[in-house]
Structure formats: C-alpha cells, structure tokens
Structure 1
C-alpha cells in the first residue's frame, strides 16, 4: 500500500514539472528558416512568436543568414536583420522582448560553418547590444555545428544550446540546454495524412516525456506542416510547433 502511494505521489510531482503548455498561443510557434519570410525577424516578431530561427554562415568575419551558400544575400546579416531589430524592440519595451513580462523570445541560431569560430562571432555580435545580455526575456540558443558539451560552460551564461536527447553529455550539462530538438523522421515516416501509426506515437510520446522529465521544452523538426499535424503536436504536448507557415499557424491558434 505504501509503495503504491509513493508511486502515485512521484507521478503527481513529475506531472507538475512537465513543461506541456496549458494553452497554445503564438508563444508556442517556432519560425523555421525565418529568414525566408518576406521580412526576416519582423514578420515573426509582429506575430509575437516564441521562437525564431536564423541559420548563419561565417564569411570574412561577417555572419550571413541563409539556408545555403547558394541562396546567400549580401544584405541579410545576423546583426542587421536580427540583433539590431531585437535590440530596438527591447529598448522600446523598456527592457522586454515583448510587452508582456512573462513572455520570452527565443532566437535559435543554427551554425552552418565551423562551430568554434562561428560561435565566437555570434557572441561578439551579441555583445554589441548590452540590453540583450542576460535579459530574462530573451534566450539565445545555439544549434547546428555545436561545440562539445564539455565546452558549454566556457561561454557567457546568456548563450544556451539546443539539446539532443540521445547525447548523455547534453543531459549532464542541463543548465546550459535551452530546449531539446529532435528530427521527426527518426520517429516516423508519416506524411501527415490520417492517423499517426500507434508504434510511432509511442516513440514520440517517450521523447516528449523524457524532455519534460528533465524540465525542458521540446520541438520536432521535419514534421509535416499542416493544420492536421499542428493539432496532433498540440495533443501530444509538444512545446514549440515547428512551421514555415507562421501567419497560418498563428491564425489557427487563435
């Protein structure tokens, strides 16, 4: 009897720390490849999205934002297209990314070139804006070509890292993990029509449960980008819904 009571109590406590959203809003939207929208950062920011992604290439000491070298544009830089705009918003909002005190804006920076040099360039760019440093309303999360987890603590506290649930080293450095991201294709080959196969659902639920048991949020990339899938992700308790259709998803959540 005592064992069953303790088990129930443990489950109740664990449920309390799970990061599953109670209500989905634009704060739960992740703007995948944001730089491909009409106006990088601005379109997503005006929708008050919770997470915005920028892929960066370090070329001649400049951080260009692009999906690939072939699509690179000279005037789209991390500084001008993202950091300066974010800084202007923070100054306008008296220190906040958004006007709501409980709102957090996550900038997911995907390093496409050498991890060490590119990350150093990112840090140096952010340092130019004191209002962005150690700001509780902003999270800078590094993904892509990451430095080893053992080196996470060598970087300023405002630099966090995108976690991989399959890497024990990431779980050993949880304080520096901003969220966990996972490739949907690893769990399922489902293309977005009909029901998710039961076996796939169990794998996805297990990944979500593992992230939440570590008191971290989770997103899946490579997920079919449709209203049907968005609803399934919400039912499963995924914290950030990955999308290229930011306006459509924002309207859907309303």
Structure 2
C-alpha cells in the first residue's frame, strides 16, 4: 500500500480540464482551504478530545471516563464460547466480563436518560472503540449481531462503535452495517470505499520516534507526523496517536501536532491538564 505521505498535495482537487481563469483558480484554492480547515485541529481542547486507552483497566470502567466527559473510550474484546468478553488476552477470559454488561447496557442507559444523546451536553459525542483481539470476521459479526439488540446505540448520530485491532480486509468494510465504523492506519492509503467507512486514522508513535516526552520532538519526526496529520484532516478524518509518553509535557506536544484525540491511561491527570488548557484558551 502507498504511504499517505507520498500522495501529491493536490490529490483531492484535480479539475477535469485546465482552467485558465484566474478567478476560477482563486475560487478552487478557497474551496480547498475551506475543506481542509473544516478538519483542522480543534481550536480549544477539552475532554471531548480525550481517549481512555484500555478503559476497562480503570477502577471504574466507562464510569470514570464518562464522568470526565471523555470523547472516546477503548475496550479490548475477545470472542469466546460465542460471547463477547472484555479481555486483553485469553488469560483474562475467565474473569467473564461481558461487553454488554460493562459497556453497551450502561451507554444505552446514558442515551435514554439524555433523550437520544450520549451526554446531557448534546454537542458532545462518544466513541466506543472496540479493539478486537480474537479472529477478525467472526468477532466483528458477533459485534454486529449484539448491537442490533440496542437500537439506541445504532441510531444515535452522536455515538459510534469504532472497530480497531484485528480487522477484516479494508475492501470488505462497506459490506458491514453502517452502525459500525473503522479505525485506519495513518500511514496507509485506502480506497475511496474503505475511506467512506473509516472515521479515524491512528498510528503507533514509537514507530516514528523513541522520544520519551522531555524536550522537543526531533524536528524531522515532528514534520513527518504533522504532514501525515494534515493530509488525514484533508481527507476528513480525525487522528489519534498511541504509545505517546503519558504526561503533560508530551500531551502539549501532541496538541501542537494537531491530533484530535489524546490517548492516555492516566485519565484523571489528562482531564486536569485539558481543563487548564481550556482555561488558557478562554
């Protein structure tokens, strides 16, 4: 697959024929700028831009991140004995923590309480990222089957189930119901059909750098990541990086890069950091 960074800068805007008019050229540039700006990094960051990584490992899964009004929570899932269990490896399966009890039923309750919205603040959205750890297609088919039992979840525009981890081939994304969407890889180029079902582009920070969070990110790494993130925004996709050092100095650098979701296991500390950021912006 072709690296996104290899795409020409004007790949989204190719006129059918040469346009001679200066006016039309300026108009096209204005449209291009407006399109990209619509997906630029948030002007003000809040916990709406926070992602609770491996949320099920928190002392109060879902509940803690939800009370902090996080925009995204992540749960690893394994299909075992025809059940969807929240588990990182097979060793965790005996704990028998079901996806329905830990996440789907509580989120349905929130949406019912808020009259069709995940949060009382109706501008806020919520993503449930399901990181599949078992075989892709059987697990995803089971996710689809179970979600159909929860009409509030599949018909709420402000709530999305995002499939990550072990995924089927991108060419098959359009064959799954529209109430499941997919997490793509920032450095990968996708077909138009696959992109239509991808809402987020993520990547592992350590594949780009060994930076530990102190001092500036190496300039070449910063520029490469910023270029990829800008192109992702140009495609209308939100961006998340994982395995970034998990403390405030590093979060500040991630914000400078322009990501849309800050990935963290330290959700209370991240919430406090983002509250300060919001105060600075106001």
TM-score in terms of structure 1 length: 0.94
Instruction: Measure the CA separation in 1 of the matches of 2:50 and 2:169.
Output: 28
Alignment of 1:192-211 (within 5 A): 192-211=213-232
Partner Cα separation in structure 1 for residue 256 and residue 177 of structure 2: 36
Rounded Cα–Cα distance in structure 2 between residues aligned with 1:97 and 1:224: 29
SS of the residue aligned with 1:70?
Answer: helix
Is residue 2:93 matched to residue 1:80? Answer: no
Match of 2:212 among 171, 174, 191: 191
Q: Which moved more, 1:68-77 or 1:144-153?
A: 68-77
Q: 1:170 to 1:54 in 2, by over 3 A?
A: farther
1:179-229 CA distances to partner (integer Å, 9 max, x unpaired)?
111111122111111111101101110111111010110000111101001
The match for 2:163 is 142
Equivalent runs, 1:76-115 vs 2, <5 Å:
76-115=97-136
Of 206, 211, 223, the match for 2:244: 223
* Superposition TM-score, scaled by structure 2 size: 0.85
Q: Residue 187 of structure 2 contacts residue 203 of structure 2 at CA under 8 Å; is this kept in 1? A: no
State the structure with more CA Rg: 2
Identify the residue that residue 131 of structure 1 maps to in structure 2: 152
**2:65 aligned with 1:44:** yes
Aligned equivalent of 1:180, options 186, 196, 201: 201
Q: Which runs of 5+ in 2 are unaligned?
A: 1-20, 276-282
Query: 1:171: how far off?
Result: 5.1
CA contact (8 A) 2:133 2:166 kept: yes
1:8, distance to aligned residue in structure 2 (A):
5.5
- Match among 237, 242, 261 for residue 240 of structure 1: 261
SS in 2 for 1:97: coil
| Distance 1:137-1:72 versus aligned 2 partners, 3 A rule | same
Partner of 1:159: 180
Name the CA shift for 1:7/1:170 in 2 (closer, same or farther; >3 Å): closer
What is the SS of the residue equivalent to 2:200? strand
Deviation larger for 213-222 or 187-196? 187-196
**Contact residue 165 and residue 171 of structure 1 kept, 8 A:** no
Aligned-partner SS, 1:180: strand
Query: Structure 1 residue 104: deviation in Å?
Result: 0.8
Point out where structure 1 has 5 or more consecutive residues left out of the alignment: none
Q: Which residue of 2 aligns with 1:17?
A: 38
Aligned match of 2:139:
118
